[in-house]
């Protein structure tokens, strides 16, 4: 037993509570996805397609373990290296997003936001890479400009250019992801002490660029229809939302029990977009509240890492990644209970997914890398302003 404890202490650095939360999420995900994909596996067998429920679970579990492995690798890297890597990742993201939209995107659900990786035949969303790269690069730019954060030309202009390029390209095929990423960037700018006047300019320009991208892209009619369905109470409740309500209402306090969901047979994508409704149906309001508590605990540990960080870059990086994951979770759960229009965003750490699970693992690994603390990280040269702290009164009050 002592040998295991020593191995864990030597190999699993960073916040141990955050490690526990992620492992618990992984276990819940495998159990719920296995239940939610029962009907999908049956249909595959019925029509002679590959992909039984057990095969789907095996693939999902392998992606989870791959994500955990990459999380472990990411947390072993000095987080200041991500300041350099983020720019290269952004430069790679732009042509990938353009190629996906204009040339070779795999079209699913009337949107070409995927690329299919040859040989392994696995779909990949360039927006996953672009999100993480933009957050890391934004944290790097803000940390290097803490001494002249009020300067519009040297601070806001380069920040604004990258945000508008990436969010605008993502909005062409995925409006909800672009809006969520833009909101995360605004939060990061607020923490980075960017003046409110400059942030308002960013909001105005963001609305204009986002509107143009949305009108020029593939999702304008879908977004318009979903907003009208949510705001116009005279219209019938959308099909998927109606059955989400039924799942939640019939779940009660303690739920029907694992694997006993009935709405999973009716709900579109019960293993991704509406997995939270399946969780409540099977585990009740108690299970739904527990999942919500885990996300809030995840956010708390991420923000604790921010406050304990010695460098501005580490704090901003951890804050941006934490907010990105938890905001997406809140939006997904809010949609399932009718607090917002349908978005199609998966529930991070729980929904069945492809490469999104891998990028989620890398993102959490970055938070853990920051939480390791400056005293464990080998000093690096050529990283100006990385050791400068953000004044806590201005940033966190």
pLDDT tens-digit readout, 58-105: 989 999 999 999 999 999 888 889 988 999 999 999 998 888 887 765
Band (132; pLDDT cuts 50, 70, 90):
very high
Q: What is the domain range of residue 60? A: 14-76+236-379
pLDDT averaged over the chain? 83
CA 255 from chain centre, in angstroms, equals 27
Same domain, 349 and 367: yes
Same domain, 211 and 285: no
Same domain, 191 and 246: no
Same domain, 240 and 346: yes
Tokens (6 digits) for 249: 């209402």
Which pLDDT score is estimated for 4? Answer: 63
Residue 282, pLDDT above cutoff 90? yes
Q: What angle do CA 66, 69, 74 make, to 5 degrees?
A: 125
Same domain, 136 and 256: no
Let me know if residue 384 belongs to a domain. no
For residue range 66-79, list pLDDT tens digits in order: 999 999 999 988 88
C-alpha 165/C-alpha 392 separation (Å) is: 31
Tokens (6 digits) for 34: 């296995």
Same domain, 242 and 364: yes
Please check whether residue 282 is in contact with residue 35, taking contact to mean a CB–CB distance below 8 angstroms: yes
C-alpha 143/C-alpha 385 separation (Å) is: 6
Same domain, 66 and 145: no
Number of domains within the chain? 2
Q: 161: burial class by Cβ within 10 Å (0-12, 13-18, 19+)? A: exposed
Same domain, 124 and 225: yes
Same domain, 106 and 118: yes
Last residue of one domain, picked from the residues 234, 251, 273: 234
Same domain, 198 and 325: no
Which has more pLDDT, 218 or 139? 139
Please check whether residue 315 is in contact with residue 309, taking contact to mean a CB–CB distance below 8 angstroms: yes
Q: Which residues pair with 111 in a beta bridge?
A: 108
Same domain, 207 and 225: yes
C-alpha 285/C-alpha 282 separation (Å) is: 9
Band (393; pLDDT cuts 50, 70, 90):
very low
């Amino acid at each position: 037993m002592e040998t295991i404890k020593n191995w864990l202490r030597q190999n699993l650095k960073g916040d141990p509570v955050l490690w526990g939360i992620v492992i618990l999420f992984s276990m819940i995900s495998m159990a719920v996805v296995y239940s939610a994909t029962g009907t999908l596996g049956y249909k595959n067998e019925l029509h002679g397609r590959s992909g039984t429920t057990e095969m789907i679970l095996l693939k999902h579990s392998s992606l989870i373990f791959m994500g955990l492995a990459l999380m472990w690798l990411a947390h072993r890297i000095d987080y200041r290296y991500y300041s350099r890597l983020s720019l290269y990742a952004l430069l790679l993201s732009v042509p990938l997003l353009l190629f996906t939209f204009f040339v070779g995107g795999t079209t699913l659900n009337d949107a070409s936001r995927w690329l299919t990786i040859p040989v392994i035949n696995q779909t990949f969303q360039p927006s996953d890479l672009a999100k993480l790269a933009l957050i890391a690069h934004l944290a790097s730019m803000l940390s290097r400009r803490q001494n002249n954060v009020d300067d519009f030309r040297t601070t806001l202009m380069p920040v604004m250019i990258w945000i508008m390029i990436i969010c605008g390209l993502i909005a062409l095929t995925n409006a909800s992801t672009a809006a969520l990423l833009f909101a995360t960037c605004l939060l990061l700018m607020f923490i980075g002490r960017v003046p409110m006047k400059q942030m308002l300019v960013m909001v105005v320009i963001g609305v204009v660029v986002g509107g143009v991208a949305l009108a020029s892209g593939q999702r304008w009619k879908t977004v318009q229809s979903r907003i009208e369905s949510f705001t116009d109470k005279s219209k019938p409740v959308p099909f998927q939302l109606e059955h989400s309500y039924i799942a939640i209402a019939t779940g009660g306090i303690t739920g029907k029990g694992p694997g006993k969901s009935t709405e999973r047979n009716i709900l579109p994508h019960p293993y991704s977009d509406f997995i939270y409704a399946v969780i409540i149906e099977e585990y009740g309001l108690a299970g739904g509240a527990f999942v919500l508590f885990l996300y809030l605990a995840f956010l708390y540990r991420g923000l604790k890492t921010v406050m304990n960080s010695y460098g501005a870059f580490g704090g901003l990086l951890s804050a941006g990644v934490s907010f990105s994951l938890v905001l997406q979770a809140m939006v997904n759960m809010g949609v399932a209970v009718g607090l917002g229009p349908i978005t199609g965003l998966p529930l991070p750490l729980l929904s069945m997914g492809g490469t999104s699970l891998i990028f989620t693992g890398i993102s959490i690994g970055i938070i853990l890398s920051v939480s390791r603390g400056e005293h464990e990280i080998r000093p690096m040269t050529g990283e100006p302003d990385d050791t400068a702290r953000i004044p806590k009164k201005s940033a966190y009050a």
